[in-house]
Structure 1
Amino acid sequence: MRAAARHPHRTRRPAPALASAFALAATSLGLWASDSAAAPAAVPTPDHVVVVVFENHAYDQVMGSSSAPYLNSLAAGGASLTASYAETHPSQPNYYALFSGETQGVTDDSCVDPGFSAEPNLASELLGAGRTWGSYNESLPAEGSTACKSSDGKYRQKHNPWFGFDNVPTSTAHTFAAFPKGTDYAQLPTVSFVVPNMCNDMHDCSVGTGDTWLKNNLKSYADWAKTHNSLLVVTFDEDNRLSGNRIPTVLYGQPVKPGSTSGTTYNHYDVLRTLEDMYGLPHAGNAADAKDVTGIWTT
């Protein structure tokens, strides 16, 4: 259940005369306007963002590892968040946290009832603001399928939180075969999530398998993003339960300062907040109290 919104208390003192009352009222209105005005976002506004989510590996298992040469090359040419953390265990609640700012009461990896929540989320916010959204889900049985899993077990609904929301059209959930090929990436939605299957996301297969998949399937987009004001974000749902839930998070593209790092502590809510602020969106759930990723942008 979503926590009730918190409102700061404002103390008003009675004025002895009408003129004082008007003055206090004007001051109060000024304070309200100041408090409610959104601070300018210290983040860029990419034309396109693609977020890729891998599984169950700690920062030190991937960053600096010879098993992940491509992901490390993205960090070298982009930015690495060296103190990036997931929220909890197991996997599924973290996906909901990253997508909607809350775990939505999900505590395990069981399949959910499609559309069980009407809470705000990144997709509903983008669509409400006239932007576009899409997910590309490897081994999804069919376009828009809300199935719990594929017949071969390579696809699992637990890694696809958008199916839990009735305000996200299932028509925006695509198979990975629908992801643009070549250099025709301008047709991508404003923000996309890409979810590899249970092998290629490093859950059932090795770090090397996932890294090769990333290179084979997203390198063309990454190269394109570098010259087309677009962004690739690669992160993980959780660690291996042995590293305090510290995970790799790498950002790459034209808005990113090459070779930059940030040791600021960030989590899934901060990443969501950053994506929201890139497009002037409202803040879902705990993203309202989160912070933007800063210090890695070219402007």
Structure 2
Amino acid sequence: MRISRTCATFAACAMVTTIVACGSNSEPRSTPYGLLSPTSSPSSSAVALPTDSPQPTTTAVTRHVFVVVMENTGLDNAVRSEPIARLASANALATNYHAVARPSLPNYLALTSGNTWGITDDGYHSLPDAADLGAQLTTAGVSWRAYMEGMTADAGCLRSPYPYALKHDPGHDCTLEVAGTWLDGLVSRIESSEAWRSGGTLFIVWDEGNGGDRNLVPLIVLTKDATPMRVETQYDHYSLLATIEDLFHLPRLGAGATATPLTQLIAGGVH
């Protein structure tokens, strides 16, 4: 895949398979987490475990990566949804994770190519013939799939009828509670899959905030042996791209080259 058109650059839910990545870093200190007021500090830290919560001692192995991108909701608002708050409290949550632009489209480009390409709207754009994550994975022999809910095979990304929208994916046409319930069901289906059971890591992120929130959005990371924690390290969409590239031993693209990877949120760290 090349970045030649808008519809070829983002996925609502992408599954990357085949290559094995082994984590080796030690776990951050962590704590169970519920509804919160997000931190405003850009400092890098994780909150200490209660004394009765043991540190995991095994090294996680990631064989399959799932990425679910939700729509236009800041951290404060997202955790008001009961299903989303439950996912956040049971897994690893980044409380200082930022989208990199507004509106939606440049954030998808950042997530998949490490560059917003100077785009500041949600329109159709012909982009440079540059590498993106899909092209990297294909070249490396890593199988991957992208799932766009509502997009029809015949009409494609430019002409699929509503509720599909070129510039938006899950949650763009419904309430937060409906989106949270949909997400909860999707996570359950992922966790019941063989791909998940054989070494899955799931990243759930929102493309951008909903205004007035410093573009602070949730990032929730699920692994099979997840330790509930909140991590206050400052991250952004380039961090997520860099982390996936690191897991599959790919060169980092664009701004991902200098991004802080999500090592603290992944059990066993990034290899």
Tell me whether the two structures share a fold, i.e. TM-score over 0.5.
yes
With over 3 angstroms needed to count, the CA separation of the structure-2 counterparts of 1:133 and 1:86, relative to structure 1, is: same
The alignment status of 1:138 with 2:149, answered yes or no, reads yes
Residue 120 (structure 1) aligned to one of 87, 108, 131: 131
For residues 56-135 of structure 1, the aligned pairs below 5 Å read 56-63=72-79, 65=80, 68-113=81-126, 116-135=127-146
Q: Structure 1: how far apart are the matches of 2:131 and 2:180?
A: 32
* Deviation (angstroms), 1:48: 1.1
Structure ID, larger Rg: 1
Return 5+ residue gaps in structure 2 as ranges.
1-22, 27-59
Q: Hey, which of these two has a bigger chunk of helix by percent? A: 1
Q: Structure 2: how far apart are the matches of 1:220 and 1:282?
A: 31
C-alpha contact (below 8 Å) 1:149/1:156 kept by paired residues: no
Q: Paired residues, what number?
A: 212
C-alpha contact (below 8 Å) 2:223/2:267 kept by paired residues: no
Residues 133-152 of structure 1: CA deviation (Å, up to 9, x unaligned): 21100110217x5442422x
Secondary structure, aligned partner of 2:76: helix
Secondary structure, aligned partner of 1:157: coil
C-alpha contact (below 8 Å) 1:48/1:230 kept by paired residues: yes
C-alpha contact (below 8 Å) 2:163/2:173 kept by paired residues: no
Paired residue for 1:234? 204
C-alpha contact (below 8 Å) 2:122/2:167 kept by paired residues: yes
Letter in 1 for 2:72: N
Q: Structure 2: how far apart are the matches of 1:42 and 1:130?
A: 26
With over 3 angstroms needed to count, the CA separation of the structure-2 counterparts of 1:228 and 1:77, relative to structure 1, is: farther
C-alpha contact (below 8 Å) 2:238/2:255 kept by paired residues: yes
With over 3 angstroms needed to count, the CA separation of the structure-2 counterparts of 1:41 and 1:126, relative to structure 1, is: farther
Residue 148 (structure 1) aligned to one of 158, 162, 173: 158
Q: Structure 2: how far apart are the matches of 1:123 and 1:41?
A: 26
* Deviation (angstroms), 1:69: 2.3
Residue 247 (structure 1) aligned to one of 191, 194, 217: 217
Q: Structure 2: how far apart are the matches of 1:100 and 1:41?
A: 26
Paired residue for 2:67? 51
For residues 3-82 of structure 1, the aligned pairs below 5 Å read 42=25, 45-63=61-79, 65=80, 68-82=81-95
Tell me: higher relative CO, structure 1 or 2? Use CA pairs within 8 A at least 6 residues apart.
Answer: 2
Q: Structure 1: how far apart are the matches of 2:231 and 2:101?
A: 22
With over 3 angstroms needed to count, the CA separation of the structure-2 counterparts of 1:41 and 1:272, relative to structure 1, is: farther
The alignment status of 1:278 with 2:247, answered yes or no, reads yes
Residue 266 (structure 1) aligned to one of 208, 215, 235: 235
C-alpha contact (below 8 Å) 2:64/2:196 kept by paired residues: no
Residues 94-120 of structure 1: CA deviation (Å, up to 9, x unaligned): 11001110012322111234xx43212
Secondary structure, aligned partner of 2:62: coil
Runs of 4+ residues over 3 Å off in structure 1: 40-45, 223-227
Q: Structure 2: how far apart are the matches of 1:74 and 1:228?
A: 21
Return 5+ residue gaps in structure 1 as ranges.
1-39, 160-195
Q: Structure 1: how far apart are the matches of 2:230 and 2:198?
A: 22
The alignment status of 1:204 with 2:150, answered yes or no, reads no
Paired residue for 1:172? none
Letter in 1 for 2:101: T
Paired residue for 1:12? none
With over 3 angstroms needed to count, the CA separation of the structure-2 counterparts of 1:126 and 1:42, relative to structure 1, is: farther
Q: Structure 2: how far apart are the matches of 1:79 and 1:243?
A: 21
Q: After alignment, is 273-282 or 223-232 more displaced?
A: 223-232
